[in-house]
Amino acid sequence: MNPNLHGSAWSGFYKKTLKERQNQLKIAFPDLFNLPSTATRIVPSVSPVPSVYSTPLTSICNSPISREYSEENDTLNSINNEQFNYLVKKLKSLNIDQEPFPINGLDEQIADKMIENCVGTIGLPIGLALNFIINEKPIIIPMAIEEPSVIAAVSGAAKTISSFKGFTAVAPERNSIIAQVVLLDIPQNSMNPAINKFCDNMVKRGGGVFDMSVRRISRINNRNKKHHPISSENFKELLVVHLHIDVCDAMGANCASAIAEGVAPRLSELTGGRIGLRILSNLSVERMAKASFRIPLSLLHYKSYTGKEVAARIIEAYEWAEVDYYRAITHNKGIMNGIDAVALATGQDWRAIEASSHAWACDGVRGDYSQSNNYRPLTTYWIEKDDQLAACGKEGDDCLMFCGELELPITVGTAGGVINTNPVYLHNMGIMGNPNAKELSMIMVCIGLAQNFASLRALATEGIQHGHMKLHATNIAFAALRCYENETNSSCPSHDITSIARRMIEKGSITLATAKELIEESLPKPQISQCTYM
């Protein structure tokens, strides 16, 4: 698909109302939102072609109704307000516009089967990250997050990066996970013979296990000085067996734990050791996904800053995080703002992703012991000279490229688990073109890299409060209006939220009290009682 066409189809998406955005999704994804069964009665010859990885039918022009419009009006591969209004009108005529939108809260009956002692559900907004091009394919990425400005920032960063080739992403072909079995009470003089037995009995393939490795780990004293030993504890080393398992497109947690428990008795028999824990490891360093981008300095210009200024300031911010772990943890938190939001939207174990990512930030896990700082930023940024541009006669800054990279151990699954339990996950996967586990991991690292780039760019130039407070003001205005409606038993026009937010920003006071004052000024009503904004 032409990336420019992809971008034009979604231009101004943020300006639309919620209902208009939902209608646009129905038009753009007829297969996903059951449009073909109805629309095909209009254009019987149209049969949407399924796609993998890149978002299918991301141009509105690909929907059956849109194609009918193009035939009637001799338009091709373009979208404008006139066409959009035509499509919405057609939706209404089919009564599809009135159907409940399927991306909504989890049914309580389903929730009750998912966890213990269930008493209800909690909702999170789901938004779309736009402008992404990954491996030359445009894609729309759902994100579930309550924090304002994240989706706007990541979409803005993607627009900049996609103006020059977009993101490149790679991940291993094999989707593997590690199951751990620890064997205890093996005397030190018997440790080497025990390890050698694994070499003779290594499982190469079968049941998903394709390899086995052994680690010999020295014990340390309990760090709590109040600890009182209650067992002999006469062994000084742990023998930790890693079972490397190909889990295909599953996340693989249950599979790994089941294999660990099933194999443990045989391992104990081989070594004479006592069986300890048998569990998966959430650190899968064989499951690394990497995202990167390169962009000419000239395309980095932002607000009133030149591309060279933006690049220099981002490098300074990154290098600070390299030497200060107080800054590094906040730097990495911004990365996870993006990754966690995609994980939540697609039913992934975001806690496992968080844990492995922060472990990977430690030099000892990466295997890099040369740095004095033991916790480092997960992204890297640098400026390099482009030899091809130099060969074409470019000189100085004109042949310099700004580069960014993020590599993480990401364990995700697109088969099994809770994905088939919650229909919202299936729709969100469908918006992305139903990626497999490898592709989903690549999407996540691209989101993480874009989010970090956006944060550093804002921090290093105008600061984050300017953009963040606009959205925060909207939340405050909404809370004040809700409070007003509850106290006066009346309703306020929704457009007042925007007006109140704007006036609070102009006054330089974004508080609930200010919002209440502005409501009283514009809509004289009885005095609003105290209401706490949460």
- The pLDDT assigned to 515 comes to 87
Residue 333 a catalytic site member: yes
**What's the CA gap between 425 and 428, in Å, rounded?**
5
Tokens representing residue 20 in the block: 């208009």
pLDDT for the residue numbered 495? 52
Give the contacts of 3 (CB within 8 A, at least 6 positions apart).
133, 136, 138, 162, 166
**Distance of alpha carbon 34 from alpha carbon 351, whole angstroms:** 33
Residue 152's nearest CA partner among 130, 178, 181, 184 is 130
Q: What is the DSSP string of 308-331?
A: HHHHHHHHHHHHHHHH-HHHHHHH
Residues 121 and 6 sit within 8 Å (Cβ to Cβ): no
Of the listed 301, 333, 358, 525, which one is catalytic?
333
CA distances from 357 to 162, 282, 301, 314, 361 (A): 25, 10, 31, 22, 6
Catalytic residue among 31, 68, 349, 520: 349
Give the residue from 77, 79, 253, 62 showing the smallest Cα distance to 176: 253
pLDDT at 88: 60
Task: Give the per-residue pLDDT at 87.
Answer: 62
Single out the catalytic residue among 301, 468, 470, 525. 468
Q: Give the global pTM.
A: 0.81
Residues of the chain with pLDDT under 70: 1-9, 34-99, 188, 190-207, 232-233, 367-373, 465-468, 490-495, 523-534
| Secondary structure class of 144 (helix, strand, coil) | strand
Active site residue 349: yes
- The confidence score (pLDDT) of residue 38 equals 37
Q: What is the pLDDT, as a whole number, of residue 58?
A: 46
Neighbours of 171 (CB within 10 A): 23
Catalytic residue among 147, 233, 319, 384: 147
pLDDT at 6: 55
Give me the DSSP letters along 190-215.
GHHHHHHHHHHS---SSTTEEEEEEE
Per-residue confidence (pLDDT) for residue 52, from 0 to 100? 35
Residue 201, pLDDT score: 38
Q: Is 147 a catalytic residue?
A: yes
